[in-house]
Amino acid sequence: MAKYLGNVLRVKVETTPSGGVFAAIGGASEESFTLSNGQVDVSDKDSSRWKELLSAGDRELSLSINGFVSNDANFAIVETAAEDDVILNYELEYGNGKTITGAFHIDSFEVSGARNNGQSFTLSLASSGAPIWS
């Protein structure tokens, strides 16, 4: 069974809206994604006390990025998107060449700086619409 290095998992931002060219966000050091599948409870009195579910609830793909603040042009794109509350296209590469592409909203953008340490950032993004898995 193959294993993959953590640095293979990369979140990239589309450098020009609808341009189809994606580039890594400068300063990023840790990225992760979570796929959430909502559930619809349809249990009734005939369920014999066992929960019955439909796979019909809301779905969401969440991205999380941590790193160090940078003067990288792609970091600036993401920073501006957070300030302007704009939805952009992102691409996630992971595993053995798999990609997920879609529109994402920046839910939170945090910058922090501790004495005697580099300024760091944390981004939380949520999918807007259905992402494309390939």
CA 14 to chain centre: 13
Residue 89 near residue 103 (C-beta atoms within 8 A): yes
Residue 85 near residue 104 (C-beta atoms within 8 A): no
Determine how many CB atoms are found less than 10 A away from the CB of residue 29. Answer: 12
Report yes or no on whether pTM surpasses 0.95.
no
**Average pLDDT, rounded, for the chain:** 96
| pLDDT(53) > 90 | yes
- What domains can you pick out in the chain, each with its CATH number? 6-133 (2.30.110.20)
φ and ψ at residue 19, rounded to 5 degrees: -85, -20
Residues with Cβ < 8 Å from 44, sequence gap 6 or more?
Answer: 52
- Say whether 28 sits in a helix, a strand or coil: strand
Residue 69 near residue 118 (C-beta atoms within 8 A): yes
Which tens digit of pLDDT belongs to each residue from 77-132? 999 999 999 999 999 999 889 999 999 999 999 999 999 999 999 999 999 999 99
pLDDT at 100: 97
